[in-house]
Chains A and B, each alone.
Chain A
Amino acid sequence: MRTKFILFFILSLCSLFLVPVATAQVQPGDSQYAVSLHVGYAHNLTYASYANFDLDAYMPINKHFDMQANIRTSTANFYTMGVQLRPKFVLPVGELYLEDRLMMRFVSRDSFRDFVHAFSVGYKMQYVNVQVGMSNRIITPLPYEKHSADAMILEPFDAVYRVEAFVRPQTSPWNISLCISNMDNYQVERMWQPMFYLGGWYDINNHWRVRLSGKYKLAGMFHLNAHYYGAELRAGAEYRF
Chain B
Amino acid sequence: MKKNIQICLGSLLLALGSIFTACGPDARLDMVGMFAGTSPTIDERFEQSQEYNKKAGFATIQALSDDYQVYVCTDTHIHNTRTRWQYFIDTYRANPMCPVAVHLGDVIDATTDFEYVEEALAPKPTTMMLPTKSDTLMAVCGNHDIYFKQWKNFIATFKTSTYYFVLKTPTGKQDLFIIYDTADGTVGNKQLQWLEQTLEWADTQDFRHIIACTHTHFFKRDGSQGHCSNFPLEETYALLNLFTQHGVKMVWSGHDHCREITQVKGMTCIVVDSMKDENKEPFYMLVTMGDEIDYEFVAVP
Contacts and interface: CB of A to CB of B under 8 A. Distances in A.
Given A45-B192, A47-B234, A224-B30, 9 more contacts: A110-B240, A153-B221, A156-B222, A157-B4, A190-B220, A224-B143, A225-B146, A226-B184, A227-B36
Contacts of B295: none
B29 interface: yes
Contact of A222 (B189, B227, B263): B227
Contacts of A191: 11
B230 A157 contact: no
A157 B224 CA distance: 11
Interface size class of B (residues with CB under 8 A): 35 or more
B268 to A, nearest CB: 9
A150 B30 CA distance: 38
A159 B37 contact: no
A91 to B, nearest CB: 24
B111 to A, nearest CB: 13
A220 interface: yes
Interface of A: 44-48, 107, 109-112, 114, 134, 139, 141, 149-150, 153-159, 187, 189-193, 217-230
A230 B233 contact: no
B32 to A, nearest CB: 8
Interface in B6-37: 7-8, 11, 15, 29-31, 33-37
Nearest to B233: A189
B31 A44 contact: no
A44 to B, nearest CB: 6
Interface string B207-232: 00000000010011111010111111
Contact of B192 (A46, A139, A193, A228): A46
Given A157-B4, A159-B8, A193-B230, A225 B185 contact: yes
Contacts of A192: 225, 227-230
A226 B33 contact: yes
B229 A193 contact: yes
Given A45-B186, A45-B235, A225 B229 contact: no
B266 interface: yes
Given A45-B192, A46-B192, A155-B219, A134 B232 contact: no
Nearest to B40: A227
A82 to B, nearest CB: 15
A221 B229 contact: yes
B189 A45 contact: yes
B61 interface: no
A155 B221 contact: yes
B219 A153 contact: yes
A226 B34 contact: yes
A46 B196 CA distance: 12
B39 A112 contact: no
A44 B185 contact: no
3 smallest beta-carbon distances between A and B, as pairs: A220-B185, A192-B229, A150-B263
A191 B222 CA distance: 13
B188 interface: yes
B147 A225 contact: yes
A46 B183 contact: no
B232 A230 contact: yes
Contacts of B86: none
Contact of A141 (B143, B219, B228, B265): B265
A139 B221 CA distance: 11
21 contacts: A44-B232, A45-B186, A45-B188, A107-B234, A112-B241, A150-B266, A155-B220, A156-B4, A157-B223, A190-B220, A193-B230, A218-B35, A220-B186, A221-B229, A223-B33, A223-B183, A224-B31, A224-B143, A225-B30, A225-B39, A228-B41
A112 B228 contact: no
The listed residue with most B CB atoms (<10 A of its CB), out of A46, A114, A219, A224, is A224
A227 B42 contact: yes
A44 B241 contact: no
A224 B42 CA distance: 14
A90 to B, nearest CB: 28
A218 B232 CA distance: 9
B37 A156 contact: no
B237 interface: yes
A223 B220 contact: no
Contacts of B231: 219
Contacts of A190: 220, 229-230, 233
- B8, B30, B232 interface centre (most CB from chain A within 10 Å): B232
A219 B186 CA distance: 6
B36 A226 contact: yes
